[in-house]
Amino acid sequence: MTQTTSGRLEAIDQYRGFAILLMVLADYLVGVKIVPMWLKHAPDVGYTVIDLIAPLFVFAIGLTFGMSFRRRAARAGLWPTYEHFITRNLALIGLGFLLTLGGDLTGVYGSTVNWGLLQALGAAGLLALVVIRLPLIWRAAVGLALLAVYQFLLDRLWLADVIAAPHNGPWGALNWGAMLILATTLADLYHGDASAVRDPERSRRAYLWISLAVLGAGLALALGVPVSKHRASASFVLLSLGLSALVFYGFHLLNARTSLRPPVLGTWGRNALLLYLLHGIVIGLFVLPAIPAWYVDASWWLVVVQAAALLGILSAIGLYLDRRKWYWTL
């Protein structure tokens, strides 16, 4: 799909590109033995830098979800907008099934459950769509209520199923949806789109302080609820949401107060979905050859070379598409 970049916020593109680039790198590193555990997902309870990557991208979706919905509704009407968003999120789920099926058949992912990141994002998007027109405070209340309901069900009924499934399976979509809903409320504060906002600058300061409060709430809740991406626990969601919001604020400050622009990240962000889909093919160049020393037992120098090649190939594709003004979205 071809489109222009008018009206885009460069900070959002850079942040989204940062999230996708890290996601691609993490998918490569997961199968290499020499990579330390702090560069892989925590096995269950615990938190590593890699555990933050998927929440970073969920927050990136939240940053534009409400704004995109309102703009399309003003232009095309309310019900066509709902139809567009439903179709888009169902398409994400369908693409996810195809991607994980292909990964399972080739051995790239090695999972027996056809549920991956795109399915989780699509399901979360459908949940967020139900409440996107609610005022900010009511949306936040719904998001927090979903966190509480999911944690209750997780502790009493779902724990074994959620831990066994990739990306927490369909059960965990409830909490990924809660994270996205809460992300849209923070996004409203950042953009100044909330109906109660009178001073955009004050709203943006509120965004920063509330992000810090969410992070603090996650840390406090962790005293009683284990932090675990594999469980999509409520403490994990709040901790990750606060951290993601602060990481984005760093990109905002970088663009607002300096002339520094992280190279390549914007191009990744403007074609995030396409580069994510393509990365599975490129990773296959390293995973598919049945030579342990080529991937699983690779030495550090080979890991660095392969990771650089992976990011280089995708960056070159992103740069080419960006120069031609070709952007693929759902």
Grade residue 1 by pLDDT with cuts at 50, 70 and 90: very low
Question: Contact at 8 Å (CB) between 180 and 65?
Answer: yes
Q: Which residues contact 221 (CB under 8 A, 6 or more apart)?
A: 234, 235, 238
Q: Which of 172-186, 188-202, 253-267 has the lowest mean pLDDT?
A: 188-202
CA–CA separation, 150 vs 174, rounded Å?
Answer: 7
Grade residue 198 by pLDDT with cuts at 50, 70 and 90: low
Higher-confidence position of 106 and 98? 98
Question: Contact at 8 Å (CB) between 329 and 3?
Answer: yes
pLDDT in tens, 304-322: 999 999 999 999 999 999 9
CA–CA separation, 242 vs 208, rounded Å?
Answer: 9
Residue spans of alpha helices (H) in the chain: 10-29, 53-76, 78-106, 117-131, 136-153, 159-164, 169-191, 200-221, 234-257, 265-270, 272-287, 300-323
pTM of the entire structure?
A: 0.89
